[in-house]
Structure 1
Amino acid sequence: MNIFKKGCMTLLGVTLISTQLVACGSTTDTPKASESGKAKPVEITWWNFPSFQALDGEVGKYEKQLIAAFNKKNPDIKVNLEMLTYEAGPEKLNVAIASNTAPDVIYDAPGRILDWGKKDLLAPLNDMITDEVKKDVSPALMKQSMVGDQVYMYPINTAPFMMGINKTIFEKIGALDLLPLNKPDRTWTFDEYKKALEAVKEKAPDVIPSGFFAKSQGGDQGTRAYIANLSNSSFFNDDYSKVAINTDKAGAALDWIAQGVKDKLVVSGAESLTGADVNDLFLQGKLAVTLNYSPVLKAQNATLKKAKFDDVLVPFPTIDGAAPKLEPYLGGMAVFNNGDQDKIAASKKLVDFIANDPEWGKKNLIQTGGLSARNSITGLYNDPEYTYAELARKFYGNPPTVADGYAEIRTYWFPELQRVLIGQATGKQALDSFAEKADAAITKAKAALKK
């Protein structure tokens, strides 16, 4: 169907993971053979965001090496690589889809992939996902890979979104004991968190205690989870039929953030800052706590720090120290249904190689800086922060990205946060306004999908 019809590592660990990758690998349709008996040459296009860390500082260099390795096993499949940026990539994809020039395969995240799946733009990958694989991937991650009973994204790497803390700052002011690092699960209460911020304000006046941002959509998962956990709330109800974040407690949490700006516990001018702006303050050593962090970002930031410091991961605080609800980052691959079965089959072979090749499957995971989407594949890194991140996966909650109308819903989020930050609305008023608009978007999206 045309897509526009609807418009770890010890030696033993390495061996074990390689075995698991082979065992969990899938069989995919192969391109048809030519009259000579050889596989028919196929040319496919792979568009890729910077899903893998740049090799030697060169964006795309790692991907080119990966393709060369793939071609040794699949010489009749030519892969044309095009790297996308996070800034211009989304619009380029929209234009390509609208003009019938979508790529054949892409490495991306659920937010866009599920939206494409709901519009019948993608080829299902059910033939690649065995029962063994499904059992080895958490329900929260499989939910982000599927629309109904159709798998549209092959899950590869994951990481829990958490908070990042400049550990060095707390060591310098003698307040390391205020962080929950001595607890195996690192959970903490709002009062404990607030006390830590106040210590930074008092003892390191040149450092901003915590970050917040509300200028653009990027990093919205950080602000969502922050407010939800500070209020022990959920963003959506269990069946994603309506927004659930507009509680009195969540409104109070948002009011506290706005007051925190005035009290110098939260970065000033948050209404005009992006997630990238706040991340840059963290990399400069000017910010003690950042909201939108993960093992992937920690790895990517290792060479981008403008000040020398150790960064650690902690979950969002909750009112009473109850288990937090963390949103899972998930990266994976999707295949566009461009109406050419040979290209679809070849694209699936590339996906299978990237995810499951005995040698490159492990390399690729490490190059993403993330954890494996498979529960059984662990110990990829000799790093206590990654060890903790693997433990923190138990806090995965329902991912908001699977909601119908999510792409529209997220556009209403930051404008409401801005209204609170500039004093035009209380937290509850803003969240009620957001819920009204978001619920309408859900209703509209569900109606459109039924047509």
Structure 2
Amino acid sequence: MRAMKKGLMTLIGVALVGSQLVACTNSSTNTPANTATSTAESKTVTPSPVAAKPVEITWWNFPNFQPLDGEVGKYEKQIIAAFNKKYPEIKVNLEMITFEGGPQKLNVAIASNSAPDVIYDAPGRIIDWGKKKLLAPLNDIVTDEVKKDITPALWKQSMVGDQIYMYPINTAPFMMAVNKTVFEKIGALDLLPLSRPDRTWTVAEYEKALQAVKEKAPEIIPTGFFAKSTAGDQGTRAYIANLGVSRFLSEDNSKVAINTDNAAKALDWVAKATKDKISVSGSASLAAADVNDLFLQGKLAFTLNYSAVLKAQNVPLKKVQFEDILLPFPTLDGSKPKLEPYLGGMAVFNNGNADKITAAKKLVDFIANDPEYAKKNLIQTGGLSARTSITGLYSDAEYKYAETARQFITDAPTIADGYAEIRTFWFPELQRVLTGAATGKEALDSFATKANEAIAKAKKDQAAAK
């Protein structure tokens, strides 16, 4: 989108017309008549308020809010209705998009200069758009109070330089989940780290739990893995990184860090676990959604891509009733895990229309901060607040654990230069290992070479664009 890439135009402030008090009296002179009239009470004339200029905006939304009465988008319509009580001049056209087809639809819209005005999404796409100058900065609607109330790790995922491109709203650490009911039935609940307040555990303990499921509940697949596409890749990244006590990228996101010997052994272990029927078969062609579906059908003991948000969203999707419990990824030595955060927030596209940008920002601020709807919105996402001062939204024990697990949140690679390209190299290398075409070390080294080139190119391109 050529116009958007050049920034197009700066944001124009909206002039507010205030009411004025005008004292109306006759001109003062020394004549008796005028002296008399000057003693009369002055009259106040208040001009009629100027009606706000009508504006129409489009909001595209993934199903970030749980459906009401089974209807996707119904809650969003309630938000819009409440928003219009405050801003009747702003018409909001809602379009719901799916996690499967939405990303491509957005790419096409951006390429054809028809992007929505506002979107609720995650840092991976939003920060990439911000780096390409496709978005309007949100600094002017983020108060100092909010800035201080959100951790640097989350702001890091919401900004490019000193420009805020995503307004953080809900968060939760990505973790594993276990079907606790399976372990209760086979009498192996003691193999899970549930008695520990932080629930940390080792790879050896994890292996014992998997083996118990294989031996005592042969109809249940012990654990899952997937490598079909980029969807849900935060799960496989964190799984391999924690099993191998490694980082995915370096702390400054300048290069790949996961191609360590321990991470390579972890990836080899995944391939062997597949052959040994401890991990789901055919994982090279399974998507993240396929594995979670197996979990929701009660056919899988552990799943890799879970969070408090997904736990809430999955309640109506369970095919059988069971208790799903959140767990951190096990680590080789029992050290504290590194969990990537889920972070949801809103962004405004710079479509070159100052009125639309201003209106879109009002919608963002309403969803994030309205006294009545802000907390309702958080609860409807099933997530925790991005703000540290807002806690205790839920009484559920798993939400309380999710609050505890926030201590393990690390910076996510989604803000790395070239991330959109980096992630396209990850799943093909996993596929090579799962199909026996490469060892874990060969695959991770190959990934590192390609990803490092993408990072260097992205940095170079950004420098040239300045």
Whether the TM-score (by the shorter chain) exceeds 0.5 is yes
Counterpart in 2 of 1:150? 163
Counterpart in 2 of 1:200? 213
Counterpart in 2 of 1:431? 444
Q: Which residue among 189, 193, 201 is the counterpart of 1:176?
A: 189
User: What secondary structure sits across from 1:85 in the alignment?
Assistant: coil
Does the 8 Å CA contact 2:7/2:350 hold for their aligned counterparts?
Answer: no
CA root-mean-square deviation: 1.6
Q: Which residue among 363, 366, 374 is the counterpart of 2:387?
A: 374
Number of equivalences: 431
How far does residue 232 in structure 1 lie from its aligned partner after superposition? 0.7
* Counterpart code for 1:151: I
How far does residue 4 in structure 1 lie from its aligned partner after superposition? 3.7
Name the CA distance, whole Å, in 2 between partners of 1:144 and 1:405. 14
**Structure 2 vs 1, CA of residues 282 and 396 (structure 1 numbering), >3 Å: closer, same or farther?**
same
User: Deviation string for 1:48-95 (max 9, x for gaps)?
Assistant: 111111111111111111100000011111111111111211111111
Counterpart in 1 of 2:6? 5
Q: Does 1:326 align with 2:327?
A: no
Dislocated runs of 4+, deviation >3 Å: 28-36
Unaligned runs of 5+ in 1: 8-27
**Structure 2 vs 1, CA of residues 84 and 431 (structure 1 numbering), >3 Å: closer, same or farther?**
same
Q: Does 1:107 align with 2:120?
A: yes
**1:269-288, aligned counterparts within 5 Å?**
269-288=282-301
Counterpart in 2 of 1:20? none
How far does residue 308 in structure 1 lie from its aligned partner after superposition? 1.2
Name the CA distance, whole Å, in 2 between partners of 1:123 and 1:320. 45
Q: Does 1:95 align with 2:121?
A: no
User: Deviation string for 1:286-340 (max 9, x for gaps)?
Assistant: 1000000001110111111111110000000001111100000000000111111
Counterpart in 1 of 2:377? 364
Does the 8 Å CA contact 2:295/2:301 hold for their aligned counterparts?
Answer: yes
Higher Cα radius of gyration: 2
Q: Does 1:392 align with 2:393?
A: no
After alignment, is 185-194 or 85-94 more displaced?
85-94
How far does residue 130 in structure 1 lie from its aligned partner after superposition? 2.3
How far does residue 137 in structure 1 lie from its aligned partner after superposition? 0.9
Q: Which residue among 123, 142, 145 is the counterpart of 1:129?
A: 142
Does the 8 Å CA contact 2:158/2:168 hold for their aligned counterparts?
Answer: yes
Counterpart in 2 of 1:214? 227
* Counterpart code for 2:93: N
Does the 8 Å CA contact 1:31/1:39 hold for their aligned counterparts?
Answer: no
Does the 8 Å CA contact 1:355/1:361 hold for their aligned counterparts?
Answer: yes
**Structure 2 vs 1, CA of residues 273 and 202 (structure 1 numbering), >3 Å: closer, same or farther?**
same
Q: Does 1:241 align with 2:242?
A: no
**1:289-368, aligned counterparts within 5 Å?**
289-368=302-381
Name the CA distance, whole Å, in 1 between partners of 2:14 and 2:216. 64
User: Deviation string for 1:410-450 (max 9, x for gaps)?
Assistant: 00101000110111111011000000000000011111111
Does the 8 Å CA contact 2:159/2:166 hold for their aligned counterparts?
Answer: yes
Name the CA distance, whole Å, in 2 between partners of 1:342 and 1:32. 13
Name the CA distance, whole Å, in 1 between partners of 2:416 and 2:256. 10
* Counterpart code for 2:123: P
Q: TM-score, normalised by structure 1?
A: 0.93
User: Deviation string for 1:200-247 (max 9, x for gaps)?
Assistant: 011101100000011111110000000000011000001111000000
Name the CA distance, whole Å, in 2 between partners of 1:194 and 1:419. 24
Counterpart in 2 of 1:166? 179
Does the 8 Å CA contact 1:32/1:342 hold for their aligned counterparts?
Answer: no
Q: TM-score, normalised by structure 2?
A: 0.90
Does the 8 Å CA contact 1:4/1:100 hold for their aligned counterparts?
Answer: no
Name the CA distance, whole Å, in 1 between partners of 2:393 and 2:268. 41
How far does residue 131 in structure 1 lie from its aligned partner after superposition? 2.5
How far does residue 96 in structure 1 lie from its aligned partner after superposition? 1.2
Name the CA distance, whole Å, in 2 between partners of 1:417 and 1:40. 54
Name the CA distance, whole Å, in 1 between partners of 2:132 and 2:329. 34
* Counterpart code for 2:313: Q
User: What secondary structure sits across from 1:3 in the alignment?
Assistant: helix
Does the 8 Å CA contact 1:32/1:40 hold for their aligned counterparts?
Answer: no
Name the CA distance, whole Å, in 2 between partners of 1:2 and 1:265. 52
Does the 8 Å CA contact 2:228/2:287 hold for their aligned counterparts?
Answer: yes
User: Deviation string for 1:103-137 (max 9, x for gaps)?
Assistant: 11110110110000000010001112222212211
How far does residue 101 in structure 1 lie from its aligned partner after superposition? 1.0
Unaligned runs of 5+ in 2: 19-47
How far does residue 3 in structure 1 lie from its aligned partner after superposition? 1.4
How far does residue 36 in structure 1 lie from its aligned partner after superposition? 6.1
How far does residue 33 in structure 1 lie from its aligned partner after superposition? 6.3
Name the CA distance, whole Å, in 2 between partners of 1:74 and 1:450. 41
Does the 8 Å CA contact 2:433/2:440 hold for their aligned counterparts?
Answer: yes
Does the 8 Å CA contact 1:30/1:346 hold for their aligned counterparts?
Answer: no
**1:10-21, aligned counterparts within 5 Å?**
none
User: Deviation string for 1:356-378 (max 9, x for gaps)?
Assistant: 00110011000101000001101
Does the 8 Å CA contact 1:211/1:289 hold for their aligned counterparts?
Answer: yes
How far does residue 5 in structure 1 lie from its aligned partner after superposition? 2.3
Name the CA distance, whole Å, in 2 between partners of 1:32 and 1:88. 41
Counterpart in 1 of 2:131? 118
Counterpart in 1 of 2:203? 190
User: What secondary structure sits across from 2:190 in the alignment?
Assistant: helix
